[in-house]
Amino acid sequence: MCDDRRMSTQELIEKEIAGLPEPLQREVYDFAVFLRQKAGDEAFNGAALSESVLATDWNTPDEDAAWANL
């Protein structure tokens, strides 16, 4: 059994997100983007962060086949 009190905030967040279905994980991501933008953090790169989320849709045999002739 894991003692949540010994986990960092990041580890706790990752643990909770991992248990959510994909649509809710995307909502959490969108909320994180919103919070960064609200804070005015210019170093935040939403495009780079979204790449890993979108890769689940992009990195498929069907997508490879669709783009093979380009």
pLDDT for 3-44, tens place per residue? 677 889 999 999 999 999 999 999 999 999 888 888 776 666
Domain holding 22, by residue range, is 4-67
Total count of domains within the chain: 1
Confidence (pTM): 0.48
Residues 6+ positions from 25 with CB-CB distance below 8 Å: 17, 53
CA dist 43 and 4 (Å) reads 30
Alpha-carbon distance values, 54 to 24, 29, 31, 50, 62 (Å): 14, 12, 16, 6, 15
Q: Contact, 13 vs 20, CB < 8 A? A: no
